């Protein structure tokens, strides 16, 4: 009897698909961007808010997120920042040389 391997489960984290080839000069590109996990007790509420995170990305790929625009909820802000600290980016480049850069992203919290 031949054993079949069980199908592989899809990745649990949000992986950014590889896009078109990057040119010699480009901005930072997120390649690992997990979504924030909202605790169960907050999922019972009607939430529709967002935060704006600025990511400072070093030429070596280091990431420092900072909160630019609050959701109005300190706990959601902390969750967003904790999640953002796990994001990984391919650094920006200028003429094929990695450079420091920054980018801003809005993270939406919506539970209904």
Give the three-state DSSP class for 17: coil
Q: Give the number of C-alpha atoms closer than 13 A to the C-alpha of residue 52, restricted to the C-beta side.
A: 5
Find where tokens 């920042």 sit: 81
Residue 97: its pLDDT value, please?
A: 95
Which residues lie below 8 Å from residue 15, measured CB to CB, with a gap of 6+?
Answer: 31, 32, 33
For 80-94, what is each residue's pLDDT tens digit?
999 999 999 999 999
CA distances from residue 67 to 2, 9, 52, 63 in whole angstroms, order as listed: 54, 33, 6, 13
Band of pLDDT at residue 20, cut at 50, 70 and 90: low
């Amino acid at each position: 009897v031949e054993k079949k391997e069980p199908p592989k489960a899809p990745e649990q984290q949000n992986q950014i698909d590889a896009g078109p080839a990057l040119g010699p000069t480009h901005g930072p590109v997120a390649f690992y961007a997990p979504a924030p996990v909202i605790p169960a007790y907050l999922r019972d509420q009607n939430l529709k808010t967002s935060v704006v995170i600025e990511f400072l990305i070093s030429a070596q790929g280091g990431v420092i997120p900072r909160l630019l625009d609050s959701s109005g909820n300190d706990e959601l802000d902390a969750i967003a920042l904790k999640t953002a600290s796990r994001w990984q980016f391919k650094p920006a480049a200028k003429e094929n040389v990695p450079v420091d850069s920054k980018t801003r992203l809005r993270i939406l919290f919506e539970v209904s």
